[in-house]
Amino acid sequence: MDEAELVGAARGGDRQAFDELVRRTFVDTFTLARRLTGNEEDARDVVQDAYLRAWKGIGKFRGDAAFSTWLYRITANAAASHVQRRRRHRAEPFGDDFEPIDTRAEQLVSQGAESAESLDRIAVALDDLPAKLRSVVVLKDVYGMSHEAIADELGITVAAAKVRLHRARRKLRDVLYDEGAEANAV
């Protein structure tokens, strides 16, 4: 079945059709959630919430856009809600001497990175951005969304989307070039 047929069946209550839509969109949905939340644990929660919202709201899906685009919007909204909840319930940070060891293999699509080290630096810099700036960069640079689509997705003006993107890229540039200069000096 193609996507339109699966969506139609899912709208009619066919759980297997919806399960197939989940299988087809899971990797991209999880990647988006990971980029928007900054870690895998939160991303899992966001993806679960997004698919639950999608199942409950599949009857309202008009088909004006692709199912995946509709799901990205739900995922971005679920991530924003999750980040706001986490901010309200923020725990005490670790001490300055704490150095976590990350054994996960990061999967980041990046055309400009020259090495795994560069990818790691980019991922860390992106994760350090405030959520509202990180979401704009991810939606624009990873998913290729237009400024208008980003503004619509985040409920902000096009001008605000452009400003946030500019600020986020400037912060990333400052962090990455400062780190690069320090690494080359050593």
pLDDT one-digit tens code per residue, 80-123: 888 888 776 655 555 666 565 544 434 333 343 445 677 678 88
Average pLDDT, the chain: 81
Q: Which residues contact 167 (CB under 8 A, 6 or more apart)?
A: 133
The CATH fold assigned to 112-186 is: Arc Repressor Mutant, subunit A (1.10.10)
Identify the segments of the chain with pLDDT beneath 50: 102-114, 185-186
Give the right CATH number for 1-90 from 1.10.1740.10, 1.10.8.350, 2.60.40.10, 3.40.30.10. Answer: 1.10.1740.10
Residues of the chain with CATH 1.10.10.10: 112-186
pLDDT at 107: 39
- Extract the tokens encoding 110: 């990046």
pLDDT at 116: 63
Residues of the chain with CATH 1.10.1740.10: 1-90
Interatomic CA distance for residues 143 and 148, integer angstroms = 13
User: Helices 67-88 & 147-154, crossing angle to 10 degrees?
Assistant: 50
pLDDT at 94: 58
